[in-house]
Amino acid sequence: MPRPTPADLAAAAGRTIPDILPDPLRLLVVGINPSLWSGATGAHFARPGNRFWPALHAAGITDHVIDCTAGMRPDDRAALEILGLGITNLVDRATARADELTADEIRAGAARLERTVAARHPRVVAVVGIAAYRTGFRRPKARAGRQPEDLAGAELWVLPNPSGLNAHETVASLAAAYGAAADAAGIRRRISG
The structural domains of the chain, ordered by start, are: 6-12+23-185 (3.40.470.10)
pLDDT for 193: 41
d(CA 157, CA 143): 10
Q: What is the DSSP string of 139-161?
A: -TT--SEE-SS-BTTBEEEEE--
Which residue positions in the chain have pLDDT lower than 50?
Answer: 193
Query: In 35-139, at which residue ranges do the beta strands (DSSP E only) sit?
Result: 85-89, 124-128
Amino acid occupying residue 91: V
pLDDT for 192: 52
The answer to whether 111 and 146 are in contact (CB under 8 A) is: no
pLDDT for 122: 98
